[in-house]
Amino acid sequence: MENCIFCRIVAGELPAAKVYEDEDMVVFKDIQPIAKIHLLAVPKEHFKYLSELNAERTALVGRMLEKIAANAPAFGLADGYRLVINQGDSAGQTVPHLHIHILGGQKLGWE
Ligand code: AMP
Ligand code: ZN
């Protein structure tokens, strides 16, 4: 999508501190981290909502979760991590391209 910031990062048109990339996704550092380690896992395909999942996208998100788990130690998250997917305005979704926040590197509180 032309004006989507995450599509532009995926395409290499905008810089990002990438820590992982494969055929399904890129993982890069959030520019406004809310934890000591705050990464974003972004599928290369543009869609906004989990309600837009079909069989292919469900498999894609499943592979993303599998690879996040496999790479957690390499991301510095061997002690644990939290995944967050904001959906819609009330949740504070600001980027209209599905993304998984990966939070850790510290003891995380729960509000
Ligand atoms: P959300 O509020 O769930 O839509 O999360 C969007 C996240 O993207 C926020 O945590 C932002 O700090 C982050 N973000 C926005 N633009 C960039 C960018 N160019 N590079 C890295 N992270 C970004
Ligand atoms: Zn996009």
| 38 domain residue, yes or no | yes
φ/ψ of 10, rounded to 5, equals: -55, -40
| 70 domain residue, yes or no | yes
| 110 domain residue, yes or no | no
| 13 domain residue, yes or no | yes
What does the pLDDT look like over 6-65, one tens digit per residue?
999 999 999 999 999 999 999 999 999 999 999 999 999 999 999 999 999 999 999 999
| 42 domain residue, yes or no | yes
Is it the case that residue 111 has pLDDT exceeding 80? no
| CA-closest residue to ligand 1 atom 1 | 93
| 41 domain residue, yes or no | yes
pLDDT band at 92 (very low <50, low <70, confident <90, very high): very high
C-beta of residue 28 within 8 angstroms of C-beta of residue 17: yes
pTM metric for this prediction: 0.98
- For residue 13, how far is its CA from the centre of ligand 2 (angstroms)? 12
| 111 domain residue, yes or no | no
pLDDT band at 2 (very low <50, low <70, confident <90, very high): confident
Please state, in angstroms and as integers, the Cα–Cα distance from residue 37 to each residue in 7, 29, 50, 60, 65, following that order: 23, 8, 24, 24, 17
Q: Where does ligand 1 bind, in terms of residues with CB under 6 Å?
A: 5, 16, 28, 30-32, 40, 86, 92-95
Instruction: Choose which residue among 87, 95, 101 to substitute to test ligand 1 binding: the one with the highest number of ligand atoms within 8 A of its C-beta.
Output: 95
Domain hosting residue 27, numbered range: 5-104
| CA-closest residue to ligand 1 atom 22 | 30
C-beta of residue 63 within 8 angstroms of C-beta of residue 24: yes
| CA-closest residue to ligand 1 atom 17 | 31
Q: What is the CATH number of the domain that holds 23?
A: 3.30.428.10
| 109 domain residue, yes or no | no
Tally of domains in the chain: 1
Indicate the length of the chain as a whole number. 111
The pLDDT score that the predictor gives to residue 101 is 98
Query: What are the strands of the beta sheet with 18-21, ordered from one edge?
Result: 18-21, 25-29, 37-43, 100-104, 81-84
Alpha carbon distance 10, 105 (integer Å): 25
Is it the case that residue 93 has pLDDT exceeding 90? yes
What does the pLDDT look like over 80-90, one tens digit per residue?
999 999 999 99
